[in-house]
């Protein structure tokens, strides 16, 4: 089953290539791509765990999520649909997560430092924020601007909180010399 999970992650990478064009074009295509990506992300984890999850599959899943969400939010910012602070906060969290994952793989910090509940919530909110952007394009006037504003604030807040939590965890884990 992990092969199917890897295919779902690869599908998300293909969807990430199409998403900027769909956002630029407007209409319902971006929302359809978002639904496919969100469904593939939801399904790939349980499928991978039923088989033999591979390190490659885990990396592919993370890369697919990052490319899809960050590419979509950066395109939305470029189009003026969200402020640049939104993809900026996501990019900051991605870089910090990558650093923490690298340090954990080298035994420099505990593996739990990279993956956290706050970081997971930030990832979910990243998808939700992009989904709301896509919904506003698909159904103009049906999604209140305040809903998008709240999702933008939550996205920025959770991604910054994930970085802060990792920073606090790192300083507590290292002895002061």
Counting other chains too, the contacts that 45-50 makes at CB distance below 8 Å and 24 or more residues apart are: 45/5, 47/1, 47/2, 47/4, 47/5, 47/8, 48/1, 48/2, 48/5, 48/6, 50/1, 50/2
Q: Please state, in angstroms and rounded to a whole number, the distance separating the CA atoms of residues 125 and 156.
A: 9
**Mean pLDDT value across residues 147-169:** 95
The predicted pLDDT at position 2 comes to 64
Would you say 137 and 30 are in contact if contact means Cβ atoms under 8 Å apart? Answer: yes
Mention every residue, 6+ apart, whose C-beta is less than 8 A from residue 137. Answer: 23, 26, 27, 28, 30, 31, 81
The predicted pLDDT at position 52 comes to 72
**Mean pLDDT value across residues 29-51:** 89
The predicted pLDDT at position 133 comes to 98
Pick the CATH number of 2-173 from 1.20.120.1760, 1.10.101.10, 1.10.10.10, 3.10.20.600: 1.20.120.1760
For residue 175, pLDDT over 70 is answered with: no
The predicted pLDDT at position 177 comes to 44
- pLDDT tens digits along 86-141: 999 999 999 999 998 888 888 777 767 778 899 999 999 999 999 999 999 999 99
Would you say 102 and 172 are in contact if contact means Cβ atoms under 8 Å apart? Answer: no
Helix (H) or strand (E) holding 12: helix 2-25
**Mean pLDDT value across residues 42-50:** 81
pLDDT band per the 50, 70, 90 thresholds, residue 164 = very high
The predicted pLDDT at position 59 comes to 85
Burial environment of residue 89 by CB neighbours within 10 A (0 to 12, 13 to 18, 19 or more): buried
Q: Which of 22, 21, 56, 57 is nearest to 40 (CA)?
A: 57
Token pair recorded at residue 153: 């604030």
For residue 84, pLDDT over 50 is answered with: yes
**Mean pLDDT value across residues 46-66:** 81
DSSP secondary structure letter of residue 51:
S
Q: Which of 65, 60, 109 is nearest to 90 (CA)?
A: 65
The predicted pLDDT at position 95 comes to 96
**14 phi, psi to nearest 5 deg:** -65, -40
């Amino acid at each position: 089953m992990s092969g199917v999970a890897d295919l779902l992650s690869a599908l998300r990478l293909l969807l990430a290539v199409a998403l900027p064009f769909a956002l630029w074009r407007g209409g319902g295509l971006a929302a359809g791509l978002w639904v496919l990506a969100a469904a593939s992300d939801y399904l790939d984890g349980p499928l991978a765990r039923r088989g033999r999850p591979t390190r490659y599959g885990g990396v592919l899943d993370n890369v697919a999520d990052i490319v899809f969400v960050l590419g979509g939010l950066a395109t939305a910012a470029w189009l003026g649909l969200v402020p640049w602070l939104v993809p900026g906060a996501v990019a900051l969290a991605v870089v910090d997560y990558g650093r923490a994952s690298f340090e954990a793989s080298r035994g420099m910090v505990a593996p739990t430092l990279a993956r956290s509940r706050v970081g997971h919530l930030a990832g979910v909110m990243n998808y939700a924020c992009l989904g709301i952007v896509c919904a506003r394009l698909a159904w103009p006037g049906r999604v209140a601007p305040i809903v998008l504003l709240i999702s933008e604030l939550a996205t920025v807040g959770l991604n910054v909180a994930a970085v802060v939590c990792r920073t606090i965890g790192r300083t507590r884990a290292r002895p002061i010399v």
